[in-house]
Amino acid sequence: MIRFLIKGLLRDKSRSRLPIIVVAIGVMLTVFMHAYITGFMGDTIEMNARFTHGHLKVMTKAYAENMNQNPNDLALLNVDELLEDLSSKYSNLTWVPRIQFGGLIDSPDKNGETREQGPAFGLALDFLSKGSVEVERLNIEKSLVKGSSINEPGEVLLSELFAQKLGVGVGDEVTFIGSTMYGSMAFYNFIVAGTVTFGVEQLDRGAVIVDIEDARFALDMENAAGEIVGFFNDGFYNNDEAIELAKSFNAEYTSTDDEYAPVMKTLSQQGGMGQYVMLAEVWTVYISMIFVFAMALVLWNAGLLGGLRRYGEFGIRLAMGEEKRHVYNTLIYESIAVGVIGTFVGTGFGLLFSWLLQTYGIDISGMMEGASMMMPSVIKARITSATYYVGFIPGLLSTVIGAALAGVGIFKRKTSQLFKELEA
């Protein structure tokens, strides 16, 4: 019977060509869209994690309530002790202290008078400690436009656009003007080590990156940090695991009313990232269901048209004593064969287009001006293990559902109608 079905599919192209083409196109789009969404949304999540949110973030309760303002007067103290405790309890994450701050950057002329000033978003990282991977995490080396990374105390990195606005270059001196942890005025001179471009509108228009020890000295934050961020060692955010870790950590401090007690927040609990993470988790399912539904309708119609052409075949098979259920089952088997062939073809083409987008990407920097959310300026796909099998969901389900719906008419056949068809 299997050989009979295969010969029928090979010899009657109308029974296999259109369904296979429909399945292949649907599977190709499913695979490509899965890789696209995984890449684009994943890159956006990881970019926000690397630069601001982390996979997990520890801060004081008071800081957490006003985190959008970066209130360093509510920063964590005795950070070294807390870092050691976090590293021992949660060894599957890497923990690093950071300080986010704001202020003015002043560019002096040759007489020491203000030439240009501009508001800046400051980020203090650990550049100089042995074993620190913050430079690699933020991809500083590849983002450099001029100069070099921070190699000595007192150096600063400016975004290229910001440096052009201030009229400064590598080796020039700039002055940070802001407020310390205790509310007094802060003035600190830096030497521009280099300029960077991250391809992110929010950072490129006014970013200032310094070593964390310089920031602590300038802001009077000895052994303090605005936040301690954690990153999963495998490099990717896991929302379910992050939520469980945050719950276990926060349970230790639920009984205290101290506003300076530490609290842990996941990436999805910061800003608008929760909705974005949720979308990234369910969007692939939505896309698969859309293609399952659309292809099932098309294949149902194709099955109905094919069934009209095959009424004579069905009539002969029923007249020879073949049971209706057996005829119906053979239609399902045929649909499975069509689904498997179409799925392999569609997956191959989908992976090809996904690889091209993953390798070369699409530059959307012109659309990112004024963006309020940190997003990559180059869209790239990401092929994961799921990309190789996600096409089987719509590829097989749609063909089986389409054949099942089209084959219902077999059970409505009447003997009188059958003899008329045979006579014709």
Q: Locate tokens 């095959």: which residue?
A: 310
- Return the structure tokens found at 279: 């979308």
317 vs 332: CA distance, rounded Å: 16
**154: nearest Cα among 222, 215, 221, 223:** 215
306 vs 334: CA distance, rounded Å: 12
Q: Is the pLDDT of residue 306 over 60?
A: no
Q: Locate tokens 């080590």: which residue?
A: 193
| More confidently predicted of 236 and 233 | 233
| More confidently predicted of 255 and 222 | 222
Q: Is the pLDDT of residue 94 over 50?
A: yes
Contacts for 283 with CB less than 8 Å, ≥ 6 apart: 37, 41
Q: Locate tokens 């400690």: which residue?
A: 129
Identify how many contiguous H helices and E strands the chain contains and give both numbers.
Answer: 16, 12
- Return the structure tokens found at 239: 């929302």
| More confidently predicted of 54 and 4 | 54
Report yes or no: 138 and 157 within 8 Å, Cβ to Cβ.
Answer: no
Ranking 232-236, 273-277, 388-392 by mean pLDDT, the lowest is 273-277
Q: Please state the φ and ψ torsions of residue 67, each to the nearest 5 degrees.
A: -65, -25
Q: Is 415 helix (H, G, I), strand (E, B) or coil?
A: helix
314 vs 311: CA distance, rounded Å: 5
Helix intervals (H) in 49-149: 61-65, 79-89, 134-137, 140-143
Q: Is the pLDDT of residue 106 over 70?
A: yes
Q: What is the DSSP letter of 117?
A: E
Which of 114-118, 262-266, 302-306: highest mean pLDDT?
262-266
Reported as type and span, the H/E element at residue 30 is: helix 13-48
pLDDT value, residue 273: 74
CB atoms within 10 A of CB 362: 12
Dihedral of CA 216/221/227/228: which sign? positive
- Does the pTM surpass 0.75? The reply is no
Q: Is the pLDDT of residue 271 over 50?
A: yes
